A and B are shown apart, each in its own frame.
Chain A
Amino acid sequence: MSILVIAEHDNTTLKAGTRNTLTAASKLGGPVDILIAGYNCQAVAQAAASLAGVNTVKVADAAHLADGLAENLAALVVSIATGYSHILAPASTYGKNFLPRVAALLDVAQISEISGVVDANTFVRPIYAGNALATVESKDTVKVITVRTTSFDAAGEGGTAAIEAIATPADLGCTTLVGRELSVSERPELGAAKIVVSGGRGLGSSENYQKVLAPLADKLGAAMGASRAAVDAGFAPNDYQVGQTGKIVAPQLYIAVGISGAIQHLAGMKESKVIVAINKDADAPIFQVADYGLVGDLFELVPQLTAAL
C-alpha cells in the first residue's frame, strides 16, 4: 500500500512543514507520493521531487486550486484516495482546514496532530493542550492523519521522483477567496525557526513589543512570537500567537519575555530545547519550565541582553 502526503505551498515555494510531514510518512513503511494541488505550481512540484524518500509527485494544476480552498482540495484528494493506506498533511491551518473533509467523505476517522508513530495503525497524539498523550489505534482502511510538524525532523534533499500530472475534479464553486492580509517579514517562519523571541502582556503596548523585542530578534535571527494575552491586547498580529490554539513551536531556544506562562501558552512551546524566561514576577509559572530564569524589569534586561549578544 502507498502513502500520500499533501504538500502545503503557495504555488511558488513548498512550506517547511511538508518536509516534517514527509518524515512522519516515511515511518509508516510504504512508498510515499506527494500531491501538489495548485495553479501554475511547477516550481513546487520540482522542489517536492528533489526531497529524499518521495516516490512520485502528483500534480493537479487548475485555476480553482490556486487558493487552497478546502472544498475543491478535499474533492481532489478523495478522487485519488483509492490505493492509499495513509493520507497525511501538516497540522497547520492549511491541513486542519481541509483534511477532516477528506476523512468524512471517505467515512473514516481523522487522527489529528500526531506527535509519534508507533506502527502503521497506532499513533501518539497530544490531548488536553499537551497535558496528556493518547496512544490511539485506527481500524479504518485508510488512515487520515494531520502531523504535528515540530515532532518530526525535516526530510532532506536528494530525491529524484517522477512528476506526474493528474486530472482535477470540476470546480464546486461554493467558496471564493476575497483577499489575504499576510504578515510580511524578513524573519524566519515562526513554526520552523531555530530561535523564537516571544512577548506577553508584560510588554504593555504594541510600541513596546516592537521597540523591546525586535532588536533582540534581529540580533539572534529569531522569529517573533506572542502569548494570547499580547495578541488579544493588539500588541502583535494573530499569526504570532504561540499556544494550544495558536502555533506549536519547538525551537532550539525560546525566549519568553513578560509572559506569565498559562498552560495554554506552555502547550505551544514546552517542547523547545532551551527555554529562557524574563519576568518581573518571580512566581510566574513560566519559571517552572524555564531552563534559565531571570527575574527583573524586562525594559532594562532585554536591551542589556541585546547589547551583550
Chain B
Amino acid sequence: MSIKILVPIKRVVDYNVKIRVKADHTGVELDNVKMSMNPFDEIAVEEAVRLKEAGVAVEVVAVTCGTAAAQDVLRSALALGADRAILVEVDVAQLETLQPLAVAKLLKAVAQQEQPGLVICGKQAIDDDASQTGQMLAALQGWPQATFASKVVIADGKATVTREVDGGLETIAVTLPAVISTDLRLNEPRYASLPNIMKAKKKPFSVLTAASLGIDITPRLTTRSVNEPPKRSAGIRVGDVAQLVEKLKNEAKVI
C-alpha cells in the first residue's frame, strides 16, 4: 500500500526559551523571541518521512495554520524530508485567538482536499499544552485515532500503534485513514542537512486562507488574563543526611 501522509505542524516559542508574561497580563511576550517547530511535530514529520523511506507512504505533506511567518517551520519540515507544504494563512489578530477546534476544522478542510490515508501530528503543542487538535480532527472526519504513539506499524490497511498511557503501554489497531499523535519516544528526529535545506527551498509550497476554505474560526474561549504562577523560593542547603532527616521530621513534618 502506498498512502499520502498529512502532517500538521505548529510554530511555537522555542522550547529553550524561558517565557515571560506580558506586563499587561494579556498573554506571553512573543516579540523578538525565538520560534521553532513544536518538538512533537518534528517527531511527526520524522515518522512520516521514515514511512515514506520504508515504502509505506508515497507523499508527505506538511501543513500549518499561521501567519506568513510560519513559512519557516514549513521549510524546516521540507528540509526534514516532507515533499510539499501548505500554509493556511490567518492574520496576526486571528492567530492570537486561533484555538484547537478552529484548527481542527481548517485541517479537516485541507484533509478533504488532500485525501490523506493517514494524519500524523504532535500529541500537544508546548505553548498552550492543549493536546486536542489531533483527536478533534479525527472526530470531525469520523476517523479512529491513536494518540501518544511510541511505535507505529502500518500494514493491511491498518495502523498498529503502541501508546504511552498512565499505567504503561497499550497497543491498539486502527483502520485507516486515521489520526496518530506522537509521543516523545516514537523516534529521534534527524537534523536537516545543508543540501536538504537548500532543496527545501525549491519544493512545492501553497497558500490557502481560512476564508477560502469557508471555515469559521471565531474563538470559543476568551482569555481574561495571563499571570505568572506563584514563585517557589529556594529553601536551604543542608550539610548532611542527618540534618536533612531532622528537617524533614521536625520542620517540614512530612516523614
Residues of A within 8 A of B137 (CB): 104
Q: Is the CB of B241 within 8 A of A305?
A: yes
Question: B223 at the A/B interface (Cβ < 8 Å)?
Answer: yes
Question: B155 at the A/B interface (Cβ < 8 Å)?
Answer: no
Q: Is the CB of B170 within 8 A of A180?
A: yes
Q: Is the CB of B241 within 8 A of A308?
A: yes
Q: Pick the residue among A104, A109, A179, A287 that contacts B135 (CB under 8 A).
A: A104
* Given A290-B235, A294-B241, residue A128 in contact with residue B175 (CB < 8 A): no
Report the minimum CB–CB distance from B190 to chain A (whole Å): 17
- Which of A40-48, A49-57, A270-278 participates in binding chain B? A270-278
Q: Mark B238-255, 1 if CB is under 8 A from A, else 0.
A: 101110110110001011
Report the minimum CB–CB distance from B122 to chain A (whole Å): 10
Docked complex Cα distance between A287 and B234 (Å): 7
Q: Is the CB of A238 within 8 A of B169?
A: yes
Report the minimum CB–CB distance from B149 to chain A (whole Å): 12
* Given A109-B221, A290-B234, residue A101 in contact with residue B139 (CB < 8 A): yes
Residues of A within 8 A of B144 (CB): 70-71, 172, 174-175
Q: Is the CB of B248 within 8 A of A274?
A: yes
Residues of B within 8 A of A304 (CB): 241
Docked complex Cα distance between A228 and B183 (Å): 12
Question: B19 at the A/B interface (Cβ < 8 Å)?
Answer: yes
Docked complex Cα distance between A166 and B132 (Å): 28
Question: A37 at the A/B interface (Cβ < 8 Å)?
Answer: no
Report the minimum CB–CB distance from A68 to chain B (whole Å): 9
Residues of A contacting B: mostly: mixed
Question: A110 at the A/B interface (Cβ < 8 Å)?
Answer: yes
Report the minimum CB–CB distance from A73 to chain B (whole Å): 11
Q: Is the CB of B131 within 8 A of A112?
A: yes
Q: Which residue of A lies closest to B128 (CB)?
A: A127
Q: Is the CB of A238 within 8 A of B164?
A: yes
Report the minimum CB–CB distance from B96 to chain A (whole Å): 13
Docked complex Cα distance between A179 and B169 (Å): 9
Report the minimum CB–CB distance from A82 to chain B (whole Å): 18
**Residues of B39-68 whose CB lies within 8 A of A:** 40
Q: Mark A242-266, 1 if CB is under 8 A from B, else 0.
A: 0011010000110000000001100
Docked complex Cα distance between A294 and B220 (Å): 48
Q: Is the CB of A140 within 8 A of B185?
A: no
Residues of B within 8 A of A105 (CB): 139-140
Question: B160 at the A/B interface (Cβ < 8 Å)?
Answer: yes
* Given A263-B18, A294-B238, residue A239 in contact with residue B220 (CB < 8 A): no
Question: B214 at the A/B interface (Cβ < 8 Å)?
Answer: no
Report the minimum CB–CB distance from B120 to chain A (whole Å): 16
Q: Pick the residue among B128, B148, B168, B227 that contacts A97 (CB under 8 A).
A: B148
Q: Is the CB of B168 within 8 A of A110?
A: no
Q: Is the CB of A180 within 8 A of B136?
A: no
Docked complex Cα distance between A238 and B242 (Å): 33
Q: Mark B58-84, 1 if CB is under 8 A from A, else 0.
A: 000000000000000000000000000
Residues of A within 8 A of B209 (CB): none
* Given A105-B139, A180-B168, A220-B255, residue A100 in contact with residue B241 (CB < 8 A): no
- Which of B87-95, B97-105, B199-207 participates in binding chain A? B97-105
Q: Pick the residue among B139, B238, B244 that contacts A74 (CB under 8 A).
A: B139
Docked complex Cα distance between A191 and B104 (Å): 30
Q: Is the CB of A133 within 8 A of B173?
A: no
* Given A129-B129, A228-B184, A276-B244, residue A137 in contact with residue B221 (CB < 8 A): yes
* Given A129-B129, A132-B28, residue A93 in contact with residue B242 (CB < 8 A): no
A-B contact pairs, 22 of them (CB 8 A): A69-B172, A70-B145, A100-B131, A100-B132, A100-B135, A104-B135, A105-B140, A108-B220, A109-B221, A111-B221, A132-B227, A180-B170, A182-B169, A239-B164, A273-B252, A274-B254, A291-B236, A292-B235, A292-B238, A292-B248, A294-B240, A301-B241
Residues of A within 8 A of B131 (CB): 96, 100, 112
Q: Is the CB of B224 within 8 A of A289?
A: no
Residues of A within 8 A of B237 (CB): 287, 292-295
Residues of B within 8 A of A174 (CB): 143-144, 174-175, 178
Docked complex Cα distance between A187 and B21 (Å): 39
Q: Is the CB of B166 within 8 A of A247?
A: yes
Q: Is the CB of A70 within 8 A of B221?
A: no
Docked complex Cα distance between A119 and B15 (Å): 32
Question: A167 at the A/B interface (Cβ < 8 Å)?
Answer: no
Report the minimum CB–CB distance from A67 to chain B (whole Å): 8
* Given A97-B135, A97-B148, A292-B236, residue A129 in contact with residue B143 (CB < 8 A): no
Q: Is the CB of A232 within 8 A of B185?
A: yes
Report the minimum CB–CB distance from A76 to chain B (whole Å): 13
Question: A170 at the A/B interface (Cβ < 8 Å)?
Answer: no
Question: A224 at the A/B interface (Cβ < 8 Å)?
Answer: no
Q: Which residue of B lies closest to A136 (CB)?
A: B221
Report the minimum CB–CB distance from B33 to chain A (whole Å): 11
Question: A87 at the A/B interface (Cβ < 8 Å)?
Answer: no
